[in-house]
Structure formats: structure tokens, C-alpha cells
Structure 1
Amino acid sequence: MSNFLMRREDEYNHAPDPVPNFNESVYSNGFDFRQRVGGWMRLGNRVNEGRAELSVCLYLPDGRVACQFQRPRIEHNNAFDAGGLSYEVIEPFKSIRMQYEGDLLIVDNPDDLREPQRLFAEGPRLPGRVDFTHVASSPIHGGEPTDDVTPTMYGRDFSRGHFNQHGKVDGVIEVGAERWQIDGRGWRDHSWGPRYWQAIYYYRLFIANFEDGDGFMLLRITDEAGKTRRLGVLLVDGEYEEVTDLNVITDWTDKHDPHRVRLSVATDKRKALIDAEVLTLAPLRNRRQVDGETLISRIAEGYSKFTWDGREGFGMTEYIERVEDGQMVGYPL
């Protein structure tokens, strides 16, 4: 990615921009293939708003979801540490650790996440702990653009800088009396700059790892004017191959959630057909008040199985889009 600059200091927190919606966020996921357990964590510092966005979402082997979503208060952007969730860089470009300790909401039927107010008021909770250590199995992908025209992964109105990386994940997940030692693979990212979730018109994102170390990150993103970008990477033998073309065909549920997806991908070195099956979906939403109007985005977070050349891998299917007049703007694309 010749149009991007990635510095060692970009692994750490950045000085906030003087805009209300400055955000700096870190994300990690990890999945144990044999135990069919895993999940993701995200902490987004919105220091100019005096708060962070905390998300923990775990997919348990029996189909339950254990999760937590908070907006804890913060006073600075010097660290990622709020609400029981923390993130540390062990070695730049190589290894990070992300940990959560606190209550988790136990969701027997993930569909109940469509009514979060009731669920969070009445749902059962258990103490939980998550500890993921990522060790890189790929180069860093992304950084900060070196010119004024190159978009970041999701666009400059969503982040000024962004990078991501596949890796080996070791750690533990504890939910009440249940405990899983994690020996798997995952993905992490780090973004900084102005962000509102509603800046995304709609996108389809797929992140996967395979036991042999291969993987991918594939993104199809469309703006309000209808312009679509297809981007991402295939990870093959420890090296990234930039995507030159990507097509996405989705089979939908009756609630307009992704269920199965057929991906056709091209790089300069190969073509690939990849099938995705969403195993457990967390149907989430983001709401924001702007000038007296409530803006809503649908955020569908699906723990998924991927099949590529006869191999099974695991990871995430993420569909984000605005909801306008009660309709998801990207459906059925």
C-alpha cells in the first residue's frame, strides 16, 4: 500500500483532533476453531465527548451470546482503558493484548438484541473475563494516507488513519462458571480521526482465518451517491495480496439479516470463490441525535464459517447500513 504511511507510534494513542466527533478505537477478535467459541472486543475513545464506546460480544458454543455495551466516562486519550476493558501494545507491529473483566449480559436468543432497552433492563448477567493476546501472522495493512485524495479503508469521514492485521490468538474466555482456553486465530484493527457511524451508507465486511494461517479481509462499501469501492486482501503464505475485484451475493433471512454469502474475489495472483455461513448473528444498532433527529444504523455482527478451496475457517460477517424510513438502505445488495 504505497499511498499509506505506517509509523511505530501509530500503534499508540494519537493527539485528538479539535472536532467533537474525534474517535480513536481498537478492536480485536479471536476464535478457537475446535471449541467453536470466540468473539470480539472494541474500545473507542471519544475524548472530546468525554466518553468511550465499549463493546464486548462473545459467541458461545451452544448459540448463546454473552455481551456488554457501555459508554464509560473518560477524561483523556492517553490510553485505552475504560469500563473494565483495556488494550496494550506488547511489541509494535507484532503483538497486542486486549482484556475485559466485568459483567456480561447472557442472551439465550440473540434475536432479543433487537430490543436492547428491555434486554438490558431485565436480562440475566454473569461475571465474565476475556483475555486475548494477538501475535502477528501477517504484515500490517493500512496506515495514514500520504496524500489528500486516497481514502482510508472506510473513508476519510470515518477515520483519518486505519490499519489492521491477522494473527494467532491465545487467551481465555470465562462466563460465570464456564471457562474456555483459547488457542485460535483472529484479527485486529486500530482507527483514529473523526467518526460518526452514520457516515457509512452501507458496507459488507468479511474477516476470516484458516488453521494453516491463510485468511482474508474483504470489504464492499457504497456511499450515498451510489459509488462502490471493492477492497481488501487475501492472506496467502504470510503475505497479503490486494483485492482487484470482489462480488458479494447474499441469501437473506426473513428479517433481512445475512444468512449465507457467496464471495468471488480476484487479486493479481489468483481468483477465489468463498462461501460464508453466518452461525450466530448479533443484530445491533447505533442511534445518534443530530439536530433533533434520530439517526439509526443497523450493525449486524455475525460469527461465521467460511469455506475456501475445501478448507473451513472462522471469523466475522459484518453488515452496516443506515436505516431510513424504517428501511435498511443496502438491502438486498
Structure 2
Amino acid sequence: MEYPHNVDPVEDLTHAIPSGVDLWSENYFFGWYDPQAEVGLWNHLGRTPHDPTTWRGLITVYLPGGKLLMSRTYGRGPQTPGESGPSNGTLSFRCDEPLTTWTVTGDAMARPTDIDELGSGLLTDREVVPVQFEYRFDALTPLWDLGAADMSDQSWAHRHYEQPGRFAGRLRCGDQEWELAGTGIRDHSYGPRNFANFRRGSWAHAEFPSGRSFVALRMWDNDDVVALNRGFICEDDKLREITPLDMPTLESAGADPRAMTVRLDDGGREVVIEVEVLSSMTQTLSEPNEVLQGVDRTDPRIKILNDAMVRCRWDGEEAYGLCERSRRIEDLGAS
């Protein structure tokens, strides 16, 4: 059944693991930025391919000056379908009200790094920094449903939902503490997940002080043909579908280019959004479905994933968001 932008609340909660579906996975993401503190949080929980009862937790803290703290952990959390949300012991996503409100908590050890080190190789073992946080997500828009039809040929999920929101909470890293507030996005997807069957991707969003927001997503197949090209603009709590015309492409193992443009077709009106990278991190999408922190150059056909906290400008209005770009290593320029 389709729920275009009127999503069944059950879809927000964890799903039963189906039998006989190779590489089935379920993934949740929360990412946001506080421009006053120059601090961002990137949190992901996904079921692992070798054992879908185990959740992989990924934490990145974006600190001032381009510094990063990164953590990757594994563990089993609640296994009953419809539980309030996933957890692996160090990272937990709790659904307080489906489609509307979530609480995220983390308590982990993270390794310090930066984009230059991540672009040069895999993150190595070192001294760790304790990281604890708790924050709340409150929806700014309805949950955007890409629908089953457009997702049926995608290799990374067969259902996918996204939602911009307001965030507020507290973060402690070692002996530093912050009270944070900002905007960002969450998403939820499920279905077979195999990173081998796409060549590159581009995803961008921002939430503006006037109340409008946008999301744009484009995926290319292994022949470098556009296989998914969707997006929305939300104004006055109403989503309207738009078509991405031009999306940023990653050009190096770092964050290049760091100044980009997103162009959207809003019902015949071209929308141009300028995007500027503030801080970023790079990971490797190891196949079929593993995420390594830093760049693994062992196989040039696998992809790296760069997630950048960005400043966006639209008709003179400034906002903050995320720009995520993935691409095969062999397709990148010199870095």
C-alpha cells in the first residue's frame, strides 16, 4: 500500500526481519548542526548483513575548526517488531510519537580525526575520547515517502522516508560540554541493501528561518545513468514534489568541491541553492553492506561517502544542512 506523504505511523517503527530475503537491512539516520556552537552530530543505526539482529552504530561529532570524533560499535537491541526504535547499547533512537518526535542518546568512545586523515586512509586505532549526548527531534514537515514504485529498483533499500526537524539537546566530549540547538534531518529505510549496485549518489537538504525547507536526492546506476531523481520543497507545512536539475558530485577523497550548487525544477520555476562545505567526514561503503571510517583503497570499484555540514543560500536567505556525496574511488580525481 502507498502512503505518499501521509505515512502509516507503523512505518516509523522497527520492522520484522523477513525470512528468505538476502541482505535485508533496516537503517535509521539523524543528522543536525548548531551554527552558533559550530558543532554537529551525525548518527546512524543499521542492521548488519551477516546478522540482521545486530545493529551497527555510527557516531560522528563535528567540532569547531574541522575536528571530528568518530565511533563505530555493534550490538543487539530490542528485537520485537514495532518496538519504539533501534538500539545497540551505545546508541539508541527512541520514537516518542511516530512521525513527529524522537529522542536520541549516545554513550560511546570516539577517536579524534579530521577530513585530511580520513581522505588518506582508514582510521587507525588510538586513544579515545568519551562522548555522551541526548537530544530531541521535533518534526518540521510531514514524513516524505519516496513510495514503493521509485524504490523498487534501488539496491540500498525498497522503502525510504525522510523528515526535516528541529533538534535540541546536550553533548559532552571529554571535559567539554555544549547545550545545542539547530535543525537537521532524519531518515528511515528498509529492504535489501547492497552497495555494489550503484555508482554514485548525491543528497542535500536545509531548513530555512522563514520556515521553508528542501530535500534533493539523486542516484546513478553502475552505468552512470540516473536511476533515482526526487526531492521536495516544504512551505506552510505542505510538501510539493520537485525535480533535481543539477546535483553536486564528489571529486576527491576529501570534500572537494567545497562550493557547490543545487538546482531544482519547482513546477517550471528554477530554484538555485548555493551550498558551502563547513566541515565534513569521509567513510568507505564496503560491499555488500559495511561502513568503514576513512578511505579503503583496496578495491577501486567500491565507493566512498562524504558527509558535510553545509551552509546554504536560497534567494538571499541563509540556512544550514547536510550534503552527502558518494562515488567510486576509480572515478575520483587526484586527491
1:281 equivalent in structure 2: 280
Contact 1:43–1:53, Cα closer than 8 Å, also in 2: yes
Contact 1:171–1:183, Cα closer than 8 Å, also in 2: yes
Contact 1:243–1:265, Cα closer than 8 Å, also in 2: yes
Instruction: Report matched runs for 1:1-333 at 5 Å.
Output: 4=4, 6-18=7-19, 19-46=21-48, 49=51, 50-72=53-75, 76=79, 78=81, 79-107=85-113, 109-114=114-119, 117=122, 119-122=123-126, 124-142=127-145, 144-145=147-148, 150-152=149-151, 155-228=153-226, 229-248=228-247, 252=251, 257-268=256-267, 270-288=269-287, 296-323=302-329, 327-328=330-331
TM-score scaled to structure 2, two decimals? Answer: 0.85
Q: Say which is worse superposed, 233-242 or 251-260, in terms of deviation.
A: 251-260
Contiguous gaps of at least 5 residues in structure 1: none
1:116/1:77 CA distance change after superposition, 3 Å: farther
SS of the counterpart of 1:9?
helix
**Number of matched residues?**
318
TM-superposed CA distance for 1:269, in Å, is 7.1
Following the alignment from structure 2 to structure 1, what is the Cα–Cα distance between the partners of residues 253 and 108? Answer: 35
Contact 1:300–1:319, Cα closer than 8 Å, also in 2: yes
1:251/1:29 CA distance change after superposition, 3 Å: closer
SS of the counterpart of 2:118?
helix
| Alignment-mate amino acid for residue 27 of structure 2 | S
2:295 equivalent in structure 1: none
Following the alignment from structure 2 to structure 1, what is the Cα–Cα distance between the partners of residues 237 and 73? Answer: 36
Contact 2:208–2:317, Cα closer than 8 Å, also in 1: yes
1:130/1:197 CA distance change after superposition, 3 Å: farther
SS of the counterpart of 2:65?
coil
SS of the counterpart of 2:124?
helix
Contact 1:24–1:190, Cα closer than 8 Å, also in 2: yes
Contiguous gaps of at least 5 residues in structure 2: 290-297
Q: Structure 1, residues 11-53: CA drift from partner, whole Å, max 9, x if none?
A: 1111112224111111111211222211210000237625322
Following the alignment from structure 1 to structure 2, what is the Cα–Cα distance between the partners of residues 120 and 129? Answer: 22
1:85/1:223 CA distance change after superposition, 3 Å: same
Contact 1:257–1:300, Cα closer than 8 Å, also in 2: no
1:144/1:268 CA distance change after superposition, 3 Å: closer
Following the alignment from structure 2 to structure 1, what is the Cα–Cα distance between the partners of residues 286 and 49? Answer: 19
RMSD: 2.8
Contact 1:106–1:126, Cα closer than 8 Å, also in 2: yes
Following the alignment from structure 1 to structure 2, what is the Cα–Cα distance between the partners of residues 256 and 80? Answer: 30
Higher strand share: 1
Contact 1:86–1:98, Cα closer than 8 Å, also in 2: yes
Residue identity (%): 22
